[in-house]
């Protein structure tokens, strides 16, 4: 049953790859894959197939607004790496290559597939760079509240941070069948942006900052029926991801009340629109600071225009764009954005990226998780 299904998935992907790339030899390649699956139960993608499949996964990502640039994705084939030390060193190389001093380049690194015996890896962090969160004795949280549980897990492994609001978590890597291990991320690998405001000198007193490159590291990449549980990838930040969500959300850094107080806004009633005013100032600070430091960042208005251009290009190719409206429309500016007034089907296509169970939440005494398992990030389940 598995072999038949895998061959069908391989056939579907290879047919798409050969067709879109205007290549000859599809029949011969399909025969090779069929023989390989019959003999081994799986097959190995060529480097070019892997590269194109990864780009298609980005093109098919229903929740991503930045898909206009899917063809420019840099794909690093690292399937031959066999130790957690090698994976960590290579993840740092990915980070350096993607950062480029602030000129962020969309990059994806692929490590061993889930079907390769004793070779599967997982990076347990949500992102290669993420700030820690500490629960203080008085019940308050220092740092990122979203990271409190994972920070506690890292400390259980032996890591200790500096107890600041912006401590970079260690990278936790697990090889199939082995215990997870943590590695400290060198500070010189992390490009930080200190946030200031062009008009309010008091803003720098808040000592806010954010990291430049968002490298998603805990999702599973699927291409032609082959799962890659360790395939970190990045684009660049959209303004609202940092200002409206990471720093603005009540369940994250919750900076809006702090900024509103600095602005002497009336917070006694929401109808004074103090949140809106504070949010605008926070967005101005993030946008200004990234631009001043020469770090790639896209505002939500430009991102909306880019996504609509992506839709236009896809339609010209005869392809229907699949998108999750609730994720495509940014959490600020609403109806002023072109994407707000559009509708899309939300079918999940292959290749694609999928969520995986957070294995670090499982009983530490249990066996290593099934790395191939996962659920689609674009479903409602």
Q: Which of 67, 78, 130, 220 is an active site residue?
A: 67
Task: Say what the pLDDT of residue 118 is.
Answer: 57
- Quote the pLDDT of residue 119: 65
How far is 54 from 278, CA to CA, in rounded Å? 39
Neighbouring-strand partners of residue 174: 122
> Which phi-psi region, left, alpha or beta, contains residue 271 (left: φ > 0; alpha: ψ -120 to 50)?
alpha
Model pLDDT, residue 372: 36
Catalytic residue among 64, 154, 230, 311: 64
Burial 24-55 (b: 16+ CB within 10 A, else e): eeeeebbeebeeebeeeebbebeeebbbbbbb
Catalytic residue among 58, 70, 210, 236: 236
Based on C-alpha coordinates, what's the Rg of the chain? 22
236 is catalytic: yes
74 has which bridge partners? 107
Instruction: List, in sequence order, every residue forming a beta bridge with 343; answer none if it has no partner.
Output: none
Q: How far apart are CA 123 and CA 117, in angstroms?
A: 18
**Pairing label, strands 233-234, 226-228:** unpaired
* 124's tokens: 């347990």
pLDDT at 4: 60
Which pLDDT value is given to residue 135? Answer: 97
Rounded CA separation 31/181 (Å)? 41
Full pLDDT tens readout for the chain, 381 residues = 455 699 999 999 999 999 999 999 999 999 999 999 999 999 999 999 999 999 999 999 999 999 999 999 999 999 999 999 999 999 999 999 999 999 999 999 999 987 765 568 999 999 999 999 999 999 999 999 999 999 999 999 999 999 999 999 999 999 988 999 999 999 999 999 999 999 999 999 999 999 999 999 999 999 999 999 999 999 999 999 999 999 999 999 999 999 999 999 999 999 999 999 999 999 999 999 999 999 999 999 999 999 999 999 999 999 999 999 999 999 999 999 999 999 999 999 999 999 999 889 873 434 333 333 333 443 344
Specify the DSSP class assigned to residue 228: E
Greatest Cα pair distance, the chain, in angstroms, is 72
CA distance 323 to 342: 10
Catalytic residue among 49, 176, 222, 241: 241
pTM over 0.75: yes
What is the distance between the alpha carbons of residues 124 and 183, in angstroms, rounded to a whole number?
A: 12
**Catalytic residue flag (residue 327):** no
DSSP state string for 286-348: HHHHHHHTT---B-HHHHHHHHHHHHHHHHHTT---B--HHHHS-SSSGGGSGGGG---B-PP
Chain position carrying tokens 């200790």: 160
325 as an active site residue: the answer is: no
Report the 10 Å Cβ neighbour count for 190. Answer: 16
């Amino acid at each position: 049953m598995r072999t038949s299904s895998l061959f069908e998935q391989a056939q579907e992907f290879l047919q798409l790859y050969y067709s879109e790339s205007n290549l000859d030899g599809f029949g011969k390649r399909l025969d090779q894959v069929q023989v390989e699956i019959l003999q081994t139960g799986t097959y190995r993608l060529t480097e070019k197939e892997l590269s194109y499949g990864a780009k298609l996964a980005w093109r098919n990502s229903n929740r991503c607004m930045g898909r206009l640039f899917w063809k420019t994705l840099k794909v690093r084939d690292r399937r031959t790496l066999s130790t957690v030390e090698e994976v960590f060193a290579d993840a740092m190389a990915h980070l350096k290559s993607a950062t480029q001093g602030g000129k962020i380049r969309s990059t994806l690194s692929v490590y061993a597939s889930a079907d390769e015996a004793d070779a599967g890896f997982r990076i347990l962090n949500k992102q290669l760079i993420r700030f820690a969160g500490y629960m203080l004795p008085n019940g308050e949280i220092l740092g990122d509240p979203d990271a409190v549980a994972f920070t506690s897990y890292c400390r259980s492994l032996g890591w200790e941070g500096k107890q600041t609001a912006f401590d970079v978590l260690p990278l936790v890597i697990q090889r199939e069948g082995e215990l997870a291990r943590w590695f400290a991320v060198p500070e010189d690998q992390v490009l930080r942006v200190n946030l200031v405001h062009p008009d309010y000198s008091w803003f720098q007193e808040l000592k806010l900052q954010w990291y430049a490159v968002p490298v998603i590291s805990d999702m599973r990449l699927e291409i032609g029926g082959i799962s890659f549980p360790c395939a970190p990838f990045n684009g660049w930040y959209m303004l609202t991801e940092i200002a409206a969500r990471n720093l603005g959300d009540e369940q994250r850094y919750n900076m809006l009340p702090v900024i509103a107080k600095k602005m002497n806004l009336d917070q006694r009633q929401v109808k004074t629109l103090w949140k809106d005013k504070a949010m605008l100032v926070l967005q101005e600070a993030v946008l200004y600071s990234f631009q001043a430091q020469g770090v790639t960042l896209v505002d939500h208005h430009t991102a909306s225009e880019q996504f609509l251009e992506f839709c236009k290009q896809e339609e010209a190719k005869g392809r229907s764009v699949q998108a999750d409206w609730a994720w495509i429309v940014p959490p600020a500016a609403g109806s002023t954005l072109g994407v707000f007034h559009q509708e899309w089907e939300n079918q999940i296509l292959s290749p694609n990226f999928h969520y995986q169970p957070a294995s670090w939440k499982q009983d530490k005494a249990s066996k290593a998780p099934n790395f191939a398992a996962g659920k689609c990030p674009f479903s409602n389940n």
